[in-house]
Amino acid sequence: MTAMPLARAINAGLRRAMERDPKVLLMGEDIGPLGGVFRVTDGLHKDFGSQRVVDTPLAESGIVGTAVGLAMAGYRPVCEIQFDGFIFPGFDQITTQLAKLTYRSQGDLSMPVVIRVPFGGHIGAIEHHSESPESLFAHTPGLRVVAPATAADGYSMIQQAIASPDPVLFFEPKARYWEKGEVDLEAEVDLGATGVTTGLHAARTVRAGTDVTLAGYGPTVKTLLAAADAVAAEGKSVEVIDLRSVSPIDFDAVAASVERTGRLIVAHEASTFFGPGAEIAARITERCFYSLEAPVLRVGGFHTPYPANTHEEEYLPNLDRVLDAVDRAMAY
């Protein structure tokens, strides 16, 4: 096991995928000699060259459109979007072309494209640098949407995403890039016989409990674990689930937990209005109605544009807001 930050773990996963398959190539703004603004691709240009680590113009639509063509030609492009808010110039290419070409061709075309998106707040950035647009892509049929929360998952999930025959939106919690975790660099990553692995979309219970379930993904998992510690000091037992995937969602794992605890709180930095938590709340209410002791509660961003950096801590689902939701759920 090796201790490394999430950013370095994703870098190691990209390296392994490129070593394994010469058809894997990286594309994005400043990802070459600079190594990307967050240095996630650091060293890869030196080792694999400019034909496989491609510095692109500042044109997200062009990046994604080129990736679509490369996928048609048999390559596995991995696109980096520099910041979450910069993905919108490529939104049309992603949702009307990338997501639909396999369906449109009745399966004759596969689109093994990964789009890496640093997302989320807590970095004190300016406008368009801290948004959480995952709901927009989870709502689009034909796209897989995942978000690692740990270095170990960053290492394995990026390889599984690249091996997938379907397009994957790979959301990386930028505020967690330099938090370290244990990674087994020698372990074989399950890539599935045809590149499809259920492991990419399987939720993981990171803390067992009996009184209430907290579910989240990406940047919120650390906040939920802190909430579980605080609640434990008051004698309550909290189960924490790292969803890892936003589309598809591992509803079986969430339902099994709720059947034990009777309560569910879902947290994410995206707006609660039409956010992933809304879909989870609806599905779990349908499946676990007779097990629920309280309504499913959601904690997330407010239904406003992302605020100035001086106000982001009030906008994001912090520890106090999660603890307030736990108190409300336990009051029923």
Q: Which residues are catalytic?
A: 129
d(CA 242, CA 239): 10
Q: Which of 306, 309, 305, 251 is nearest to 277 (CA)?
A: 251
Instruction: Kindly state the tokens that stand for 117.
Output: 């998106």
d(CA 323, CA 310): 23
Give the CA dihedral 121, 86, 4, 315, nearest 10 degrees: 10
Asked if 239 and 270 touch (Cβ cutoff 8 Å), the reply is: no
Q: Residues of 177-202 as b/e, b for ≥16 C-beta within 10 angstroms?
A: beeebebeeeeebebeeebebeebbe
Q: Which of 284, 296, 289, 283 is nearest to 332 (CA)?
A: 296
Identify any residues that bridge with 77 across adjacent strands, giving them in sequence order.
25
